[in-house]
Amino acid sequence: MVTPAQRNTHIHILGICGTFMAGIALIARAAGFRVTGCDANVYPPMSTQLAEAGIELIEGFGAEQLALAPDVWVIGNVVRRGMPLIEAILDARQPYVSGPQWLADQVLGGKQVIAVAGTHGKTTTSAMIAWLLEDSGRNPGFLIGGIPANFGQSARLTDSPWFVIEADEYDTAFFDKRSKFVHYRPQIAVLNNLEFDHADIFPDLAAIETQFHHLVRTVPRNGHLVVNATAEALDRVLARGCWTPVERFGPGARWCAREFAVDRFAVTRDQTELGAVSWSLSGAHNRMNALAAIAAASDAGVPAQAAIESLGRFANVARRMQVRGAVNQITVYDDFAHHPTAVQTTLAGLRERVGAARILAVIEPRSNTMKLGSMNAALPGSLADADRVYCYSAGLPWNSQAVLAPLGDRAVCDSDFERLLQRIVNDSRPGDHVLVMSNGGFNGIHQRLLAQLGGAPAPAPAAATVTAPAAAPAPASSRAPGTAIRPTLADPSRGPSQS
């Protein structure tokens, strides 16, 4: 935990606009640290949170930042050898630490940590658990890879012993290639699911299973593992060694969902019905997320019946089936899905809710795994619930038209954004549901669609800008070391740093 002597310590965060590192910045600021940071791009909603917290941001990774002389440099995994600043830090033998290690050392050591790991559903399940603890009066701290609507922020530090963290399997830093989650030492770990992803750093699923095995090794014997009963990969992980009590959720498991409708399902534990969740979410994937959250909260002392009732007040997370607007009876949604399984479950959830209405799926395959083409074989099938599919293919090293050929004339692929946008507008009709799926800003497509569907001229995408309170900042090469600039709404087509 943070001691009085550590307050006002200056940390400078490299890669501060990444989802995880921005959360660390907010927590450090709340703990009394002086926080500055740098990144190549700023990207809402994280840049907005940083600005509102008064955290100063320097554009780029210039070596002149060495003159800031912080007490420690906190390194995000977007940072690579060869960047001028990191080379200067290494040459000067300055103290540096990874973001996950800093968090573990300064914050998590005195906490009861609930870590949520898995290929899919980490953000939503973490947000659910944080809300269940909050609604039961436990006031948890948290760091989540999105903004839960119940809280309006992605991270906070409290005096509660409980801390909920989204436990990412991506690597820690350029000097620490272990998954981030091995640093967190959870008391309760949720293993939500597991399949191949992150093809840029993992050669195969077995390599990811090894990292999950390392996570399992850190959970104490008086802790809890909450595990998806339907994931064969997780069975293999536990078969390699498990020293902690395991509770499983899913069909036929201890925690189970039954008698479900679009917005309601019953929850059973050991085949005894405990109550029914009535909420605004839909889809089998969200019911599984809910079971995991209820089980984890129960292990933290929240009565299951209270957790079930609390989920009725859960307001989801930004960019998870978020309705961005509706015009002329056409509804536009925003979702973070960027893996075929996530695409499939998101579409299935929407189909469950809208019935026979037309769904127009708009996808931007921009994650590293999707760009590498590792998931191409699964992509057409994942889009089966869509009546029409529109793929933005700019920058893809593979032929999207050939990959989506099994969909026939239902699929339209185009590398010209304006032309694809116009095609979606022309094809839309009253009663349609337009589901946009991307892990980036996608050129501000949501607002532009709504504008054109409403008959207004489409606004141009926002330019990538970072501004100072007065005059525009000088280029990094000419700006004085440590010149601070506040992040503003920047190019929404650019994603956050991986960290």
Task: Look at residue 465 in the predicted model and tell me its pLDDT.
Answer: 29
**11-34 burial, b if ≥16 CB within 10 A, otherwise e?**
bbbbbbbbbbbbbbbbbbbbbebb
CATH architecture for segment(s) 1-103+461-499: 3-Layer(aba) Sandwich (3.40)
Do the beta carbons of residue 396 and residue 413 sit within 8 Å?
no
Strand 359-363 versus strand 388-392 pairing type:
parallel
Task: State the Cα–Cα distance between residues 489 and 462, nearest whole angstrom.
Answer: 8
- Alpha-carbon 431 to chain mean position: 30
Residues β-bridged to residue 38:
14, 58
Task: Look at residue 407 in the predicted model and tell me its pLDDT.
Answer: 95
Tokens of 343: 């695409």
Tokens of 367: 């994650």
- Alpha-carbon 108 to chain mean position: 20
Do the beta carbons of residue 31 and residue 157 sit within 8 Å?
yes
Do the beta carbons of residue 151 and residue 128 sit within 8 Å?
no
Phi, psi torsion values for 485, nearest 5 degrees: -135, 140
Task: Look at residue 6 in the predicted model and tell me its pLDDT.
Answer: 59
Task: Look at residue 71 in the predicted model and tell me its pLDDT.
Answer: 97
Whether omega for the bond prior to residue 251 falls within 30 degrees of 0, making it cis, is no
Tokens of 465: 């800008």
pTM: 0.82
Task: State the Cα–Cα distance between residues 106 and 29, nearest whole angstrom.
Answer: 12
Per-residue pLDDT tens digits of the chain, which is 499 residues long: 455 555 679 999 999 988 899 999 999 999 999 999 999 976 666 677 788 888 989 989 999 999 999 999 999 999 999 999 999 999 999 999 999 999 999 999 989 999 999 998 999 999 999 999 999 999 999 999 888 999 988 999 999 999 999 999 989 999 999 999 999 999 999 999 999 888 788 889 999 999 999 999 999 999 999 999 999 999 999 999 999 999 999 999 999 999 878 889 999 999 999 999 999 888 888 999 999 999 999 999 999 999 999 999 999 888 888 899 999 999 999 988 778 888 988 898 899 889 999 999 999 988 877 888 888 888 999 999 999 999 999 989 889 999 999 999 999 999 999 999 999 999 999 999 999 999 888 888 999 999 999 876 555 544 332 322 233 333 333 333 333 333 322 333 333 334 4
Do the beta carbons of residue 439 and residue 495 sit within 8 Å?
yes
7-to-33, 103, 284, 362, 448 alpha-carbon distances in Å: 5, 15, 45, 47, 45
Domain range summary for the chain, segments of one domain joined by +: 1-103+461-499, 107-311, 329-453
Q: Longest Cα pair distance anywhere in the chain, in angstroms?
A: 68
Q: Which residue has the tokens 């991506």?
A: 170
Q: Which value, to the nearest 10 degrees, does the dihedral of the CA atoms of residues 170, 370, 391, 322 take? A: -20
Of 79, 88, 344, 122, residue with least CA distance to 215 = 122
Task: Look at residue 160 in the predicted model and tell me its pLDDT.
Answer: 97
CATH topology of domain 107-311: UDP-N-acetylmuramoyl-L-alanine:D-glutamate ligase (3.40.1190)
Strand 34-39 versus strand 246-249 pairing type:
unpaired
Tokens of 380: 């057409």
Task: State the Cα–Cα distance between residues 427 and 272, nearest whole angstrom.
Answer: 49
Task: Look at residue 494 in the predicted model and tell me its pLDDT.
Answer: 33
486-to-28, 39, 62, 186, 494 alpha-carbon distances in Å: 18, 12, 17, 35, 18
Task: State the Cα–Cα distance between residues 157 and 139, nearest whole angstrom.
Answer: 9
CATH topology of domain 329-453: Protein-Tyrosine Phosphatase; Chain A (3.90.190)
Task: State the Cα–Cα distance between residues 238 and 2, nearest whole angstrom.
Answer: 34
